Structure 1
Amino acid sequence: MCGLFGEFGQDVLRDEAALAAISRSIRHRGPDDDGLATGNGWMLGFRRLAILDLSPAGHQPLFHDDGRYVLVYNGEIYNYLELKAELLAAGERFRSGTDTEVLLKLLIREGAAALPRLNGMFAFAFVDMERRSFVVARDRLGVKPLYLHHRPGQLRFASELKALLEWPGAERRIDRGALADYLAMGYLPHESCIFQGYAKLAPGHFLSGSIDGPEVVPQRWWQVTMQPEDRGPDRDDALLEELDALLDDALRIRMRSDVPVALLLSGGIDSGLVAAYAARTGQPPLALVAGVGSPEMDETDLARATAKHLGIDLREMQLTADSLKDVDHVATSFDEPFADTSALPTLRICEAARQHATVLLTGDGGDEAFGGYRRYLEAQRYKNLMNLPEGVQRLAWAAGRGWLPPRLAYRLAKATLPDELLGAVFDGFGLTRDPALALILPDGLTTAPDVAAPVARAWAKSAGLDLLSRQRDFDYRCYLTDDVLVKVDRASMAHSTEVRSPFLDYRVVEWAARLPHRLLVDDRHGKLMLRKLAAKMLPPAVTTGRKKGFGAPVDDWFRTPGGAAMIRDRLVANAVPDLWNPDGVAQVLALHLARKRNYGDILWRLLVLEAWHRRYLAPELSDKGLAA
């Protein structure tokens, strides 16, 4: 697990001071070692977080013995031992115990065709100096990030945006479309970037070409396809055994590490099952849980029950309203505005975990794979009310949006919604018509559509599938990749820790995509298949408990004197021109304090935006920071 940066083209950066500044900007991703190599038409830089083979043999950039090939790589190839055995049988020899050397030799033999053989999370850049060619790739689900900056004849790339911004002359002009997406969604989709001229390589894609004149034409090498199969009830026990074996092996290969491993535990089934499989190894890792003091979100009691049941040592920590001050930490760590409140406990728990371990196990990805989100159940409740004629649907949607209270309008929308709006309402993302947004934004988004464009595009790609499959497909395209995995990567790497999840194993993802719906959700519960498995491994309080959202109770925190004072100071008294209306913020805060409605999420989005602006844009540029 590391950080990388590099450049291809005729005039690559060679200034030592500038290169050192770029490397320092991502030191947190790799404090154990750093490396830099340059050649005709290429430059590759690296920061190492040592996980496998802690010796100097793990230094990068890694050159092949003949000097023709070079690689920089961030991530983990979990099946590297199996791949290494194949390569040894084919006559290859190794001088290290790293997965990096396995990847290098595999790429030399097979090029981009090797990608489907990799079970892991990764971003890498590989150069063949004789052919003057390169391959740059990102893992299937986008667990590891890769930012790009492309101009004719030149390609720059880095693990984090802050590294690209350290290049001499790097521009910082806010993309207004991306800003609108952020305010509607609370995060930025991988198709866009907050600054003009920058981009992200999409999950499951790679670039290849000549280092002399690199072009950016991404090629897809993987995607998950929802194809529920009609498997009879007589197969249920066999399917449960298949799942047990899959998860057991996914956990086994993720325990491969030459540094200590710990577990991030919540009160849910997903992380509980990861803990159960880890306990099977005979060396159960230390577990950590973050409490937030809210009955709706705090899962400390359930985490205690799981730890006691499995015989795992549990360390606890608590967050309070004082944690709002961590907004500046969020801005620095995430580079782009990112308003998922669960970033707060994730940052804190990764910081605490670093005292005990470098590798952390989680249950991320279980909800998407096995139908765990409450919004999936909501959709099932309303799916039989969607057969009204399209004209009636549109009329009801327009009328409800115009005069009904928001909660009633939302319910009406679920029963009468045209297809292009389903993604936002049934998945809870990207609606741009919130009354609060009209108050706080300078233009009120009066010309914006009802749904953020990235949400509409992602939803349209699943046309023809049933509703539950469309929701899961949407989450793999948007929410998991651009929210959950961004949060986990930036929060963990900010504290030089690596996070691994068995539920993100592509074999588990592809297997779950074929499950019949009766094994995913019913009228009351989601994750039915996982619940059956958990019933054999976890205490009843966990397997039958109500799902709680992982986050921070910002609604309550902003009603404390300190929280309200922070909003008034940062968003009203010191508003950034052209980004929000301070009078509108004051009105929204007053409504929130009077408990007319909960506006904590919107206030948090603005607070993050203010902290981000202060971190990444000089004050004198704030008036002209918006692109036309």
Structure 2
Amino acid sequence: MCGLFGEFGPEALRDPADIEAISRTIHHRGPDDGGSKTGPGWMLGFRRLAILDLSAAGHQPLHSEDGRYVIAFNGEVYNYLELREELLAQGERFRSGTDTEVVLRLLMREGAAALGRLNGMFAFVFIDKLARRFLIVRDRLGVKPLYLCRQGGGLRFASELKALLAWQGAGRSLNRPALLDFLSLGYLPNATCIFQGYAKLPAGHCLEGDLDNAGRAEPRCYWSVTVAPDDRPPQTDAATREELQALLADAVRLRMRSDVPVAILMSGGVDSTLVAALAQASGATPVALTAGFAGADEDETALARTVARHLGLTLRELPIHAASLADVDELARIHDEPFADPSAIPMFRICEAARREATVLLSGDGGDEAFGGYRRYVEMQRHQSLLMLPNWLRRAAWTGLRGRLGPSRQYRLAKATLPDGLIGAVFDGLGLLRESGVRALLPSDLAGTAGDVPAEVARLWSASRGRDILSRQRQFDYGLYLPDDVLVKSDRASMAHSTELRSPFLDYRVVEFAARLPNRLLVSDRQGKLILRDLARERLPRDVWAGRKKGFGVPLKEWLRAPGGLAFARERLLERNALTAGLWSRPGAERLLQDAGAMGTHAAQLIWRLLVLDAWARTWLPTEGTS
């Protein structure tokens, strides 16, 4: 797990001091070692977090023995030992015990055709210096980030946006339409970037091209998941559970491979506790780590203790620094782009504390998307009848009632009027530009261009037209919420503290298997993850497999209702600040902050988004203003 950066083109950076300055911006991603290599029309830089083969043999960028090929590899290929054995049988000889060298030699033999054989999370750059060709790749699900910037005929790339911004003369011109996405969703879709001229390589995509014409290379998809509609005949339920158990067990086994300590981030939920149970069943005895939120509904410390005793695992309770609204500045520093998922705060603090125990952490990320764990999946099962009503009738109800309803109910009614079942795309968050609270915050130059939902939400949702609502929701979350919210949060929080986060539920084999499951094995009108609960029933206490999903949040309402919280928000959002002028509507923010005592979850989310946007502007916008 590391960080990389580089440039292709006739003006590719060569000055060691400039390269080192860029490297320092992502030192946190790889504090153990750093390196760079340059050649005619190319430069590669790297920061290393040593996980496999801790010796100097793991130094990157890594060259082939004849010097023709070079690679900078960020991430892990979990099945590298199996691939290594194949290559040894074919006559290859290795100089290190790293997965990076396995990937290098596989690419030397097979080129881009090798991508389908890699089981892991990664972003890497591979160069054939003789043929003057390159290959840039991001993993299937987008666990590892990769930013791009085209400069004339050249191309720059980096693991984090801050590294690209460190180039001399790098632009910071605000992409104003991106504000619509952020104020609506609380994060930015992969299809956009907060600054003009920058982009992200999509999950499951690669770039191939000529070193001498790199700026013209276009991404192509090498893998995608398709959630099958709920009309396929399954095998027997028992056989399905048995196959899933074998897949998950193997995914856990592969992710236990490490030359540094491995621990499990364990709450009291089904996903992380099932990972712990499968790790223990494989003969491993990793330490389980849990974080408590004393007095909060989200606290699951007691349940984690019960699970640890049941499995015979050592449990360490992490001392978490008290979180507060002031943490917004730290989040702005590590995220580079506005990111307002409130659970980023506890995630950041947990990784900070966990780093004292282990370098590799196993998590339950991806379990909700694969197996229908989010509340919105269950809610849509309950409210299917809403979609049967004519849209004109739903719109008439919204028009007649919205003035007499509170913000939360008004928002739900507004969602119910969306065409084509779009309610499924925004059911568990704001995500609705038409909603009055969001609309009131939009800058005047953008309010007139805003539709019902952000353009990327509409595009991704329409791509699954014709399927049942649950299949559409799961497909949508794989395209947007998982890569652009969940995995961004996990990557930035873990790498900020030089830790590697691995999730067995993000094994592509598990994802592909779950995508073929019928809905009846996933969600009822009471709870989700039915098939996972069945697996957990055999291994874990009843309170786990029968319990409700608690989530991973923070008490935003309570913070903002408190006198200190309200004062903090007013000072940040209503003061005259040239940097933030025009990022949101000041009158809309004033109305939002008027009645803190009656503040609900809906308003608290919107205020938090404004605080995040303010902190981001103070951190990343040039002091002379934006262009």
Instruction: Give 1:314 deviation, angstroms.
Output: 2.2
Q: 2:76, 2:120 within 8 Å by CA — same for their partners in 1?
A: yes
Match of 1:602 in 2: 606
Distance 1:133 1:53, change over 3 A: same
Cα distance between partner residues in 2 of 1:337 and 1:562: 24
Match of 1:507 in 2: 509
* AA of the residue aligned to 1:478: L
Instruction: Give 1:562 deviation, angstroms.
Output: 2.5
Q: 1:393, 1:418 within 8 Å by CA — same for their partners in 2?
A: no
Match of 1:59 in 2: 59
Cα distance between partner residues in 2 of 1:561 and 1:534: 44
Match of 1:273 in 2: 274
Aligned residue for 1:3, secondary structure, equals strand
Cα distance between partner residues in 1 of 2:232 and 2:467: 18
Match of 2:310 in 1: 309
Cα distance between partner residues in 1 of 2:394 and 2:562: 42
Q: 1:386, 1:417 within 8 Å by CA — same for their partners in 2?
A: no
Are residue 561 (structure 1) and residue 569 (structure 2) matched?
no
Match of 2:354 in 1: 353
* AA of the residue aligned to 2:68: R
- With 410-419 and 486-495 compared, the bigger mean Cα shift is at 410-419
Q: 2:2, 2:74 within 8 Å by CA — same for their partners in 1?
A: yes
Match of 2:157 in 1: 157
Distance 1:40 1:581, change over 3 A: same
Instruction: Give 1:543 deviation, angstroms.
Output: 1.2
* Structure 1 unpaired stretches of 5+: none
Instruction: Give 1:16 deviation, angstroms.
Output: 2.0
Aligned residue for 1:605, secondary structure, equals helix
Distance 1:390 1:241, change over 3 A: same
Instruction: Give 1:302 deviation, angstroms.
Output: 2.0
Calculate the aligned-residue CA RMSD, in Å.
Answer: 2.0
Match of 1:173 in 2: 173
Distance 1:230 1:582, change over 3 A: closer
Q: How does 1:249-398 map onto structure 2 within 5 Å?
A: 249-293=250-294, 295-317=296-318, 322-398=323-399
Cα distance between partner residues in 2 of 1:391 and 1:283: 58
Instruction: Give 1:184 deviation, angstroms.
Output: 0.6
Q: 1:142, 1:485 within 8 Å by CA — same for their partners in 2?
A: yes
Aligned residue for 1:289, secondary structure, equals strand
Cα distance between partner residues in 1 of 2:472 and 2:231: 17
Deviations 1:304-355, CA, capped at 9 Å, x for gaps: 2222221222222465765322211111111101000111111111111111
Cα distance between partner residues in 2 of 1:343 and 1:407: 23
* AA of the residue aligned to 1:460: S
Instruction: Give 1:174 deviation, angstroms.
Output: 1.1
Instruction: Give 1:595 deviation, angstroms.
Output: 3.5
Cα distance between partner residues in 2 of 1:212 and 1:608: 40
Cα distance between partner residues in 2 of 1:385 and 1:582: 36
Instruction: Give 1:399 deviation, angstroms.
Output: 4.6
Distance 1:406 1:361, change over 3 A: same
Instruction: Number of aligned residue pairs: give it.
Output: 623
Match of 1:549 in 2: 551
Instruction: Give 1:416 deviation, angstroms.
Output: 4.8
Cα distance between partner residues in 1 of 2:135 and 2:64: 16
Match of 2:457 in 1: 455
* AA of the residue aligned to 2:427: F
Instruction: Give 1:586 deviation, angstroms.
Output: 3.5
The alignment-based identity, stated in percent, is 62
Match of 1:19 in 2: 19
Match of 2:619 in 1: 615
Aligned residue for 1:620, secondary structure, equals coil
Cα distance between partner residues in 2 of 1:537 and 1:179: 46
Cα distance between partner residues in 1 of 2:382 and 2:32: 52
Q: 1:382, 1:414 within 8 Å by CA — same for their partners in 2?
A: no
- With 384-393 and 346-355 compared, the bigger mean Cα shift is at 384-393
- With 139-148 and 592-601 compared, the bigger mean Cα shift is at 592-601
- With 384-393 and 493-502 compared, the bigger mean Cα shift is at 384-393
- With 489-498 and 412-421 compared, the bigger mean Cα shift is at 412-421
Distance 1:399 1:10, change over 3 A: farther
Instruction: Give 1:376 deviation, angstroms.
Output: 0.4
- With 111-120 and 398-407 compared, the bigger mean Cα shift is at 398-407
Cα distance between partner residues in 2 of 1:141 and 1:354: 25
* AA of the residue aligned to 1:568: R
Match of 2:538 in 1: 536
Match of 1:146 in 2: 146
- With 386-395 and 138-147 compared, the bigger mean Cα shift is at 386-395
* TM-score, structure 2 normalization: 0.95
Cα distance between partner residues in 2 of 1:229 and 1:246: 22
Q: 2:6, 2:42 within 8 Å by CA — same for their partners in 1?
A: yes
Are residue 498 (structure 1) and residue 500 (structure 2) matched?
yes
Instruction: Give 1:296 deviation, angstroms.
Output: 3.3
Cα distance between partner residues in 1 of 2:231 and 2:575: 60
Cα distance between partner residues in 2 of 1:238 and 1:442: 55
Q: How does 1:460-499 map onto structure 2 within 5 Å?
A: 460-499=462-501
Cα distance between partner residues in 2 of 1:374 and 1:281: 32
- With 328-337 and 401-410 compared, the bigger mean Cα shift is at 401-410
Distance 1:79 1:93, change over 3 A: same
* AA of the residue aligned to 2:89: A
Q: 2:432, 2:438 within 8 Å by CA — same for their partners in 1?
A: no
Cα distance between partner residues in 1 of 2:13 and 2:353: 37
* AA of the residue aligned to 1:313: T
Q: 2:229, 2:468 within 8 Å by CA — same for their partners in 1?
A: no
Match of 1:585 in 2: 589
Cα distance between partner residues in 2 of 1:88 and 1:347: 41
Q: How does 1:69-148 map onto structure 2 within 5 Å?
A: 69-148=69-148
Q: 1:592, 1:598 within 8 Å by CA — same for their partners in 2?
A: no
Deviations 1:547-601, CA, capped at 9 Å, x for gaps: 1121211111112232222112211235421123445433312323334665221
* AA of the residue aligned to 1:602: L
* Structure 2 unpaired stretches of 5+: none
Cα distance between partner residues in 2 of 1:115 and 1:246: 20
Q: 1:423, 1:429 within 8 Å by CA — same for their partners in 2?
A: no
Deviations 1:494-547, CA, capped at 9 Å, x for gaps: 000000000000000000000111100111110000000011111111111111
Distance 1:358 1:456, change over 3 A: same
Q: 1:76, 1:120 within 8 Å by CA — same for their partners in 2?
A: yes
Instruction: Give 1:269 deviation, angstroms.
Output: 0.2
Match of 1:37 in 2: 37
Distance 1:154 1:168, change over 3 A: same
Cα distance between partner residues in 2 of 1:373 and 1:216: 38
